[in-house]
Each structure stands twice: as C-alpha cells, then as structure tokens.
Amino acid sequence: MNPPPPIAALDGIRVLDFSTVGPAARCARILADYGAEVVKIGAPKKGALQIEPAYWAYGAGRGTRRIRIDLKAREGREAFLRLVGQADVVLESFRPGVADRLGVGYADACRVNERIIYCSTSGYGKTGPASSWAGHDLDYLAMGGFLHTSGRRADGGPALPGATIADGAAGGMHAAIAILAALLRRARSGRGEFLDVSVAEGVLSLMALLVDEHLATGADPGPGHDVLSGRYACYGVYGTRDQKWLAVGAIEAAFWANLCRALGLERWIAHQYDDAQQDRIRADLSAALLARDRDAWVTELAPADTCVAPVLSISELALAPQFQARGVIGEVEHPQHGRFRQLAPVLAGASRPASVPHLRGAEASDAVPLLRAAGYAAGEIEALLGAGTVA
C-alpha cells in the first residue's frame, strides 16, 4: 500500500461552511478530506430544534470545527465577517438572495477580504426562470435528463436512482472542482471570485455524451438508445440461481467473445450488435447465468476478461475483499456512539488518518478559539456568548 501524501493538498486553506446537508455538505467533506480546515457555521439553537444530520452522516464531522452564529443579529454578522477576513473560501447553500439579505453575501465578504472565494450552491443557479425553485436531488436529475434516460419501472415511469447522484457528483464534486480551480487562479492573480454552482448544470455535465449527441445530430436519447442504456444484451444486469444479480459490461468484441465462450454461447459472438437478434441473445444469456449462483460466476468470469461484476448490497460491499484490501473502510470514535466504522477518505490523493479519529458531539464548539484568533478580546467573546449571538 502506498504511503499517504506527506503534506495534505489543502493544508493551510480555511473554509467557512454554512451547509448542513446536501451538495455543499458533500463539497465540504471533500475539501476536509484533502486537508482544508473546514469551519461549520450553524445557527444558535433558539426556540425550535435545529435540523441536524445523523451523527454518522458526511463523515460524522471528522476533522471539522464548529461555531454557531446568529446572522440576524448585527453582532453576529460582524463576527462572521471577522472570520471571513482570515478565510480562503466561503461555502453556502442558501436560497438565492438570502445571503445578501442577511448581509453575508459575496459583496459583504469582499469588503473584508478581496481574496475570498465565495462558492454558492443552489439547485438551478442564481439566474434564470427556475432559480427560485425549491428542489432536491430527484428534481435536478429530472431537469438534467438523467431520469428520462434511466431504466423504467413496471408502469413505464423512470426508476428512482439508488443514490443521491445530483447531490454527490453534480453538486458536491462540481463545487469542489470549481473551488480547487479558483484557488489555483487566485495563486496567479491574487484575487478571489464568486462561484455560482448550479446542481442541475452539474447533471448536464454528467449527461454530456447524450446531450452532445442530441445537439450534434438531433437524436433524442432515451432508455435503450445505445449500448450504455440497454439496447444490446452485452451490457445489462442478469439474475443468477440464488436470486442475486450480475452486471455484464462486455462492450468490446474481445470481452464479449470471452463471455460467450465461457457460457457456451459461441453462436452469438458475431451478432453482438445485431439489433434483430438482441431478444434471442438476451434470453440465452439470461438462461445460462441462471444455472449457477452469483459468486460462483464471479469466481469464474471476473478474472477471465469478461467485464462481469457482482451487484453488491451495501452490507456486502462493506466486507468486499477488494475494498478491504484498498483500506477504504476506517473507524472513528464518537463520545456518545462509541467506535463505529465509516468510509475513510476515498478520493485519490486525500489524506487518510494515521490513527482512529476521535470525533466530538454535535454540541461541541470552537467559538472561543476562532473568535480569539479573529481578534476578539476575552470580554467581547464573553458578551457574544452570554447574549446567545455566538455559541
């Protein structure tokens, strides 16, 4: 196993993060895993209970700091802007216009730190007729064409995705990439910038092969349009004797030939992309794979250049030898929930902890050291805490 990088890629970068869940929270997790100091900024718990993510979500707060600030109070806004003066990135996911109305928008941040990179994540971006729409992952996948081109339910409607792809990739990774690029630009120009991250546009990036095909040729892709969306038997999911499933992705002719020979279906090698024969090929492939259990097929076929893999449940993948060997499952220690397993930083080049990280409870606060570092005197900090403006 390769040793971890000696220096975290984002060591010395401070991120002020307003998010609690969704795309921006995914982005903050990525930045923290690359070594950024992420400071979670929440609202003081006054009156109704604030919504908090589950204790295990988003890396369980691994490696992040916390402060609660009442942005509706003048002193709270001033405290936030003092923190901005020492920060590199602000990450927010308010509805469009809310940050400006609170006095913590990009223009406010620039007045105290012209080098600030201010990343705003929203469903549809800050402009356009849909900019004010509320939404969640499914809505962005719908607008971006992902649902239309996905598999179908029995009633013909699009199937629900098994993961929050828009939040994780189209939003979280999109924002992280944009921030990393902005940090590189700032290193050359000395200036910060505003990033308008639209999750729906991130979905378009994920759908670029099909969108660009339509724009260039006029085609209207949908389920079964091409090899990647179910048109051909060589690319699909098939049941096995134990009622589990195999993913078959034998797109290239050599891999398809290997699979056909292994299953005694040599007669179909030359007909891989013969549209007239796909129903017959699919029926024969289904019948052949039903003869044995999933893992028996994996043992035989996966190492034989057939592009076959098991469809693993979440509980199965947590024990999968491949992921165990790669060290992607780690442990953390929580003050209330004890020791439990979680995903370690999995993206390439991220820094994995050398020992078991000790987490802190949701009520933990770094308000005092953060405010002290921002130049507040002890009496000023005491007054802010006593008034409930900061916690």
Domain annotation for the chain: domains and CATH numbers: 14-206+331-387 (3.40.50.10540), 227-239+245-310 (3.30.1540.10)
pLDDT exceeds 80 at position 137? yes
Residue type, 355: S
Residue type, 189: S
Q: Check residue 23 and report its DSSP letter.
A: H
Concatenate the DSSP letters of all residues of 53-94 into one string. Answer: --TTGGGGGTTEEEEEB-TTSHHHHHHHHHHHTT-SEEEE-P
Task: Give the distance from CA 100 to its chain's centroid.
Answer: 26
Are the CB atoms for 124 and 98 separated by under 8 Å?
no
- Per-residue pLDDT reduced to its tens digit, 101-134: 999 999 999 999 999 999 999 999 999 999 999 9
- Per-residue pLDDT reduced to its tens digit, 237-248: 999 999 999 999
Active-site residues, by number, are 136, 167
How far apart are alpha carbons 67 and 41 in whole angstroms?
5
Q: Check residue 227 and report its DSSP letter.
A: G
SS3 content of the chain, % helix, strand, coil (to 5): 40, 15, 40
- Per-residue pLDDT reduced to its tens digit, 358-390: 999 888 999 999 999 999 999 999 999 999 999
Q: What global pTM score does this model have?
A: 0.93
Q: Which two tokens stand for residue 39?
A: 């400071």
How far apart are alpha carbons 259 and 20 in whole angstroms?
47
- Per-residue pLDDT reduced to its tens digit, 54-79: 999 999 999 999 999 999 999 999 99
pLDDT exceeds 80 at position 49? no
| CA-to-CA separations, 228 to 40, 144, 265, 302, 352, in angstroms, rounded | 40, 17, 22, 20, 34
